[in-house]
C-alpha cells in the first residue's frame, strides 16, 4: 500500500489535485494551508548559487594508499599502504551560472573532501596546476571581468582582454585555458591539481612544502571546439551525465594521486617564489611521487542535498597537512568558509554531506538551522570544570620563520610572468599551437586593434612565435 501524503508537519492530506474553493469557479479559501505551504516552499527552493563554480556534478569514492609517504607526513590518511578513506568529489565549471553548459571553455573545479578519522580534509583545486592571479585582492575584479557586462548582461570579450592586458600574471593560465585542455571531454578525462603549495608535517614535526596532482587514469581527452559548441545546445549537462552514467555502469573513474615535495631550504633558495600560484614547480627538479588512487564509485541519491549543499574549504586540513605563505591560499582560507556561511548558513558543516565521519567536539552553539542535538545538555564554555573537551598540544605545528617588511609589495617587480607560459607553448605540437592561437584570435576578433596589440605584446614575450601567430590570424603586422 502506498504511503499517505502529509504536510511538512506530518498531517495527512486528503486532496492534492484541487484547491479548496468557494464553488467550482472559486475564489480560493485562505484556509487551504496545504496549497499555501506548497507555493511558499516552492518559492524558497533556491539558495544563492555560488558566484563561481555554480554548475557542478559530484560523486562519492574511495582513496587507497599505494605508496608510503609517512617520512613526509603524519596525516592518518597516509598511515599505511592499503589504507582506504571515503571521499566526495565535486567537479564544476567556473564562470557559468547554474544552468550553463558543461562544455564551455573554462577551467574545471576539482573539489575533493576526504572524510578522514582526524576530520575532513578538503583539497579545493582545479584541472589546472596554476591560476590567473597570485594576489587575492585581484580576485573579484578578475571574476567581474569574465562575467556579465553590467549594462547589457552579456559576456563581453572586450572586458576580458582589457583586464588581461593589465594582468600578465594570467598568461600561463590563459595558455592552458585556450589550449585543447580548456574544454575537457567531461570530467573523467582530465587531471586535478591542488594548485596551491601546502605543507606536510611528519611525526618528528618537520615541515616540507607539497603540491598535489591527481592524474586521470582514463587518460586526457578534450572536445574539439565544434563538438563542444554543438553539445552546449543539444546536451548542456554533458559532463555531469557522462560522470553519472559511467558510475551507474560501474565504470568507476580513477585518478592517481602524486605529490611534489620541496624542502624549506630549497624554497628559500629557489629561483622564483615557489608559493606563487601562477607558476608550477618543474617536474625535472621536483619529480612526481606516487601516493595512492582515488576512485569514484557511488552516485549521490539527491543532487541538491549532496552536490549543491557540498561545501569545501582549503582551510580544512588534518594534522600532518598545513598551509603555506601562498597569498591566494591565504585569501581562500577566509573566502571559502565565508561563502558557505552565506550560501548555506552558519551550521553548514552539520549537513550530512559535509559532516565529518570523525567525532566533532566543539563549543560552537546555536545559529540558524542548528539541526543536530546542538551539544545537548553539555555546557558551552572552555576552560571549564565539568570535563569538557580541551586543546591537545601534541597537534601543534612547527613554528614557521617569517620575515619581511609589512608593505603592499608589487608582485610584478622582478617577477617573470612569461617563461612558464612560453615553456608550455613550446611543448605543444604544431597542430596544438595552431588550435591554441586560433582559439585566442577567435575571441579577440571583436576587440579594438589597440587592445589586440597590447595583449599580443604579452604573448610575444612568452614566445615570439606565439604572439606572431595570433597577430597573423588577426591580420596584424
Annotated binding site for heme: 336
- 441 is a contact residue toward ligand NDP (CB under 6 A): no
Residue 283 touches ligand NDP, criterion: CB under 6 A:
yes
Q: State which of residues 20, 52, 158, 220 lies at the interface with ligand NDP (CB under 6 A).
A: 220
CB of 222 to ligand NDP, least distance (A): 8
54 near ligand NDP, judged by CB under 6 A = no
Under the binding rule (CB under 6 A), the answer on residue 424 touching ligand NDP is yes
H or E segment and range at residue 144: helix 139-146
Distance CA 68, CA 82 (A): 10
Question: Shortest approach of ligand NDP to residue 221 CB, angstroms?
Answer: 11
Stretch that binds ligand NDP, among 14-22, 231-239, 282-290, 297-305 (CB under 6 A): 282-290
Among 420, 437, 439, 452, binds ligand NDP (CB under 6 A): 420
The Cα 49–Cα 100 span in angstroms is: 12
**Shortest distance (Å) from residue 427 CB to ligand NDP:** 6
CA distance 463 to 457: 10
The nearer residue to ligand NDP, 32 or 416, going by C-beta atoms, is 416
Span from 7-15, 157-165, 329-337, 418-426 in contact with ligand NDP (CB under 6 A): 418-426
Rule CB under 6 A: is residue 277 a binding residue for ligand NDP?
no
Distance from the Cα of residue 291 to its chain's centroid:
21
Q: How far is the CB of 98 from ligand NDP (least distance, A)?
A: 27
Q: In this chain, which of 280, 307, 328, 333 binds ligand NDP, going by CB under 6 A?
A: 280
Q: Rounded to whole angstroms, how far apart are CA atoms 254 and 142?
A: 33
* Per-residue DSSP letter, 239: H
Residue 179 is a binding residue for ligand NDP (CB under 6 A): yes
Residues 244 and 299 sit within 8 Å (Cβ to Cβ)? yes
Taking the complex as a whole, the smallest distance from the CB of residue 232 to ligand NDP amounts, in Å, to: 21
CB atoms within 10 A of CB 35: 17
Known catalytic residues are 53, 126
Q: At what angle do helices 430-444 and 464-473 cross, to 10 degrees?
A: 50
DSSP class of residue 397 equals: P
Query: Is 113 an interacting residue with respect to ligand NDP (CB under 6 A)?
Result: no
Residue 191 sits in the site that holds ligand NDP (CB under 6 A) = yes
Q: Which is closer to ligand NDP, CB of 34 or CB of 134?
A: 134
Q: Does 129 bind ligand NDP (CB under 6 A)?
A: yes
Total binding residues toward ligand NDP, as defined by CB under 6 A:
18
Part in contact with ligand NDP (CB under 6 A); list of ranges 98-106, 201-209, 274-282, 317-325: 274-282
Q: Do 94 and 49 contact (CB within 8 A), yes or no?
A: no
**Helix, strand or coil for residue 31?**
coil
With contacts defined by CB under 6 A, name the span among 79-87, 132-140, 277-285, 304-312 that binds ligand NDP: 277-285
With contact defined as beta carbons under 8 Å apart, do 134 and 180 qualify? no
Is 173 an interacting residue with respect to ligand NDP (CB under 6 A)? no
Strand partners, 198: 210
CB of 281 to ligand NDP, least distance (A): 6
For ligand NDP, which stretch binds (CB under 6 A), given 179-187, 311-319, 407-415, 449-457? 179-187
Cell of 168: 600578465
List own/partner pairs for 180-183 with CB under 8 A and 24 or more apart: 180/222, 180/432, 180/435, 180/436, 181/127, 181/128, 181/220, 181/222, 182/105, 182/106, 182/107, 182/222, 182/439, 183/103, 183/104, 183/105, 183/222, 183/223, 183/225, 183/228
The H or E element spanning position 259 is strand 254-263
Distance, CA of 261 to CA of 469 (rounded, Å) = 37
Q: Which residues bind ligand NDP (CB under 6 A)?
A: 129, 172, 176, 179-181, 191, 215, 220, 280-284, 420, 423-424, 427
Amino acid at each position: 500500500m502506498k504511503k499517505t501524503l502529509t504536510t511538512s508537519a506530518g498531517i495527512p492530506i486528503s486532496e492534492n489535485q484541487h484547491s479548496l474553493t468557494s464553488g467550482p469557479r472559486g475564489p480560493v479559501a485562505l484556509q487551504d494551508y496545504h496549497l499555501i505551504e506548497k507555493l511558499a516552499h516552492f518559492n524558497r527552493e533556491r539558495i544563492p548559487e555560488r558566484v563561481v563554480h555554480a554548475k557542478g556534478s559530484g560523486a562519492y569514492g574511495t582513496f587507497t594508499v599505494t605508496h608510503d609517504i609517512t617520512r613526509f607526513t603524519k596525516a592518518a590518511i597516509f598511515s599505511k599502504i592499503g589504507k582506504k578513506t571515503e571521499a566526495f568529489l565535486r567537479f564544476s565549471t567556473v564562470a557559468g551560472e547554474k544552468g550553463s553548459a558543461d562544455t564551455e571553455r573554462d577551467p574545471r573545479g576539482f573539489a575533493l573532501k576526504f572524510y578522514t578519522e582526524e576530520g575532513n580534509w578538503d583539497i579545493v583545486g582545479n584541472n589546472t596546476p596554476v591560476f590567473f592571479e597570485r594576489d587575492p585582492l585581484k580576485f573579484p575584479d578578475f571574476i567581474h571581468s569574465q562575467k556579465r557586462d553590467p549594462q547589457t548582461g552579456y559576456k563581453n570579450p572586450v572586458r576580458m582582454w582589457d583586464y588581461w592586458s593589465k594582468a600578465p600574471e594570467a598568461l600561463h593560465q590563459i595558455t592552458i585555458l585556450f589550449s585543447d585542455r580548456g574544454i575537457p571531454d567531461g570530467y573523467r578525462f582530465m587531471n586535478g591539481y591542488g594548485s596551491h603549495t601546502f605543507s606536510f608535517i611528519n611525526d618528528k614535526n618537520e615541515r616540507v612544502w607539497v603540491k598535489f596532482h591527481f592524474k586521470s587514469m582514463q587518460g586526457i581527452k578534450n572536445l574539439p571546439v565544434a563538438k563542444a559548441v554543438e553539445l552546449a545546445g543539444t546536451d548542456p549537462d554533458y559532463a555531469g551525465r557522462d560522470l553519472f552514467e559511467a558510475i551507474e555502469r560501474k565504470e568507476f573513474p580513477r585518478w592517481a594521486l602524486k605529490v611534489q615535495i620541496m624542502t624549506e631550504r630549497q624554497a628559500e633558495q629557489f629561483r622564483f617564489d615557489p608559493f606563487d600560484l601562477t607558476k608550477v614547480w618543474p617536474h625535472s627538479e621536483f619529480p612526481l611521487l606516487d601516493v595512492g588512487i582515488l576512485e569514484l564509485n557511488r552516485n549521490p541519491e539527491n543532487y541538491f542535498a549532496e552536490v549543491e549543499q557540498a561545501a569545501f574549504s582549503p582551510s580544512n586540513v588534518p594534522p600532518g597537512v598545513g598551509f603555506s605563505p601562498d597569498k591566494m591560499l591565504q585569501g581562500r582560507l577566509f573566502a571559502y568558509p565565508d561563502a558557505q556561511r552565506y550560501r548555506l548558513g552558519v551550521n553548514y558543516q552539520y549537513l550530512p554531506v559535509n559532516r565529518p565521519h570523525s567525532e566533532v567536539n566543539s563549543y560552537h552553539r546555536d545559529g540558524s538551522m542548528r539541526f543536530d542535538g546542538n551539544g545537548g545538555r553539555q555546557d558551552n564554555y572552555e576552560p571549564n570544570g565539568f570535563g569538557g573537551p580541551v586543546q591537545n598540544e601534541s597537534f601543534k605545528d612547527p613554528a614557521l620563520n617569517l620575515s619581511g617588511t609589512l608593505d603592499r609589495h608589487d608582485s610584478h617587480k622582478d617577477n617573470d610572468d612569461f617563461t612558464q607560459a612560453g615553456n608550455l607553448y613550446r611543448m605543444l605540437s604544431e597542430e596544438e599551437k595552431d588550435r591554441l592561437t586560433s582559439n585566442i584570435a577567435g575571441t579577440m576578433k571583436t576587440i579594438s586593434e589597440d587592445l589586440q596589440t597590447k595583449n599580443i605584446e604579452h604573448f610575444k614575450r612568452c614566445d615570439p612565435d606565439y604572439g606572431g601567430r595570433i597577430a597573423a590570424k588577426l591580420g596584424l603586422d
